[in-house]
Structure 1
């Protein structure tokens, strides 16, 4: 509001003094009373600027897609002129006819003021409001580009971690052991490993995916890890079907499980317990904290990536609550795409 008032005041001063110069050949008005006209110009421009914003939104690039471009441009310009006509009647014609009945205003002067008002309104619309809308569109485009970059980075990071030689080495070792000990479990483990890669690739490059898709990846990954660690790892689920249509950034939940397993110790006597639940519009991933004998340095890249993506998607914050006994991350569940 302050921005529009300041802009209207500056524009009114400029327009008023241009008119004075054209009429009298000077920028100075001899009497203070002559500046009453300046107030009328300001009173005209301020609501005009306010009216321009909804017009620009109504005729934005994503609106009225079925209307031909030429017809849309003519309708947009006509709307601006129509608004200027209404404000001209309110702030010029009405005051001159009813508030100052002794003022002599010729029809030619009225027509000229109407034409000038329409031209001014069009000028400020296309060179002020549309320019502002163009800048906002550029910022939105940059935000979408950044979001796509963050999403692709998350998928790349997830794939990189899965194909990491250490991960593959451990997985193949588990698979080799199972082949000799339990052929059925070996086949199961190989299928789970395949499911993880398939779910990762199915995530695509979308900034948001339904929770059901993310949970398919998370459950496949959890089953793979439970087969690998046995009784040392337990993943508990409490996600009601009602939340399946909510949206989350792809691989975000999987990355949280991966972090929990990477940075915590786990034994059959002291298992690592990861709880995944949904409530009150939040997806909660919680695990008990247990120190590892071979501590792994944390780069926090996974959490930072999730935070940045949510920053682009919504104003709702990601809550990270570390305590000596547990580590909790709460991800907002979104009801509609924000890009």
Structure 2
């Protein structure tokens, strides 16, 4: 409806500018009010039909043939449909005028033909003006949406980078933790004295863990298969550090290994379990990593909380995992606590980010 007044004014303005000395304009001021009112109403209806037809065609083509796909074809198709619509509306208008005024159908005069052609040209100009306005509005709106998406994408990337940095800082904390390094090196020196082959394997696993932490902690996602390879070396170090005070049970379906999760997810969850629970050989801490479905991975540990510890104290490990899944538009992990177990259900992602 916004275009109707614009089209109405434009119709008379362009008609006058095309031929200001036409007989129609010379006699215009001499016509009675009711005659003018009838003409204005007819013209208003005509402009309404032309405007609505143009808007309807534009909206339909936006869905079936967007400007961004094939602009030249879109221009030709929209112009053609609008021309056909205008011709059909003019035809209906002529039929209506003939029926109302009961004019005879004798051969039209040259003046009538001239007026009809002028009418067609003016109508086409109005139609094309509306096309131009609609197209401009569509392109500006599309550009704004694109800019909004780019801005949201940049913001999301910044948030992901921040979360990734937090995970990296967490892993660096582990790397630079003198306690962890001292224990690992002490075990390594003992193993070298007792069993050189085992000592060599320990040093290899030790280097793999730190290489993984340095390289992959900066990524947004990695495959579960890569995470499990890292976890194998990490568990090897943990077992030789803690001994029989901890047991691991890894049972992951092969099809799940091709799915993705944020790096260090499993390491942080295992570290969290060790941090909050005692590791006694008489009552060892049991940690299970298994899949329930292809996209559902569960990290479960038995509960033997250290005195003065509670499950509300997660450090930065679990909250970091939660925020990274959220930022990656994945389903956030679920926590299930029973009197004897603590489970974290991780929903794996089927694409790399």
TM-score when normalising by structure 2:
0.74
Partner of 1:272: 285
Alpha-carbon deviations, 1:120-164, whole Å to 9, x = none?
232112211221222122212321332233223212312222322
Partner of 2:207: 194
Alpha-carbon deviations, 1:300-338, whole Å to 9, x = none?
42112111111122343321212222111111111123x
Moved more, 294-303 or 131-140: 294-303
Partner of 1:317: 332
Question: How far apart are the structure 1 equivalents of 2:169 and 2:123?
Answer: 67
Partner of 1:291: 305
One of 163, 166, 173 as aligned partner of 2:179? 166
Q: Secondary structure at the match of 1:260?
A: helix
One of 79, 86, 110 as aligned partner of 1:85? 79
Q: Secondary structure at the match of 2:258?
A: coil
Q: Quick check: 2:261–2:348 contact (8 Å CA) kept in 1?
A: yes
Question: How far apart are the structure 2 equivalents of 1:51 and 1:258?
Answer: 57
Moved more, 197-206 or 15-24: 15-24
Alpha-carbon deviations, 1:264-294, whole Å to 9, x = none?
1110011111101123111111111111147
Asked if residue 326 in structure 1 is aligned to residue 341 in structure 2, the reply is yes
Q: Secondary structure at the match of 1:219?
A: helix
- In structure 2, relative to structure 1, the CA distance for the partners of 1:80 and 1:164 (3 Å cut) is farther
Asked if residue 45 in structure 1 is aligned to residue 55 in structure 2, the reply is yes
Asked if residue 142 in structure 1 is aligned to residue 155 in structure 2, the reply is yes
Shift of 1:22: 4.3
Shift of 1:186: 3.7
Q: Quick check: 2:248–2:287 contact (8 Å CA) kept in 1?
A: yes
One of 122, 126, 130 as aligned partner of 1:117? 130
Question: How far apart are the structure 2 equivalents of 1:56 and 1:217?
Answer: 48
One of 18, 36, 45 as aligned partner of 2:6? 18
For these two proteins, the number of residue pairs brought into alignment is 307
Question: How far apart are the structure 1 equivalents of 2:157 and 2:276?
Answer: 32
Shift of 1:235: 1.0
Partner of 2:120: 107
Shift of 1:169: 3.0
One of 308, 313, 319 as aligned partner of 1:304? 319
Partner of 1:65: none
Residue correspondence of structure 1 range 46-65 to structure 2 within 5 A: 48-49=58-59, 51-52=61-62
Consecutive unaligned residues in structure 2, runs of 5 or more: 14-36, 98-115
Moved more, 47-56 or 263-272: 47-56
Partner of 2:273: 260
Question: How far apart are the structure 1 equivalents of 2:44 and 2:299?
Answer: 70
Q: Secondary structure at the match of 1:234?
A: strand
Question: How far apart are the structure 2 equivalents of 1:40 and 1:161?
Answer: 72
Question: How far apart are the structure 2 equivalents of 1:111 and 1:23?
Answer: 10
Shift of 1:193: 1.7
Question: How far apart are the structure 2 equivalents of 1:186 and 1:315?
Answer: 41
Q: Quick check: 2:83–2:124 contact (8 Å CA) kept in 1?
A: no
Alpha-carbon deviations, 1:199-242, whole Å to 9, x = none?
22231633221111111111111111111111001111101222
Shift of 1:173: 3.7
- In structure 2, relative to structure 1, the CA distance for the partners of 1:215 and 1:47 (3 Å cut) is farther
Partner of 1:240: 253
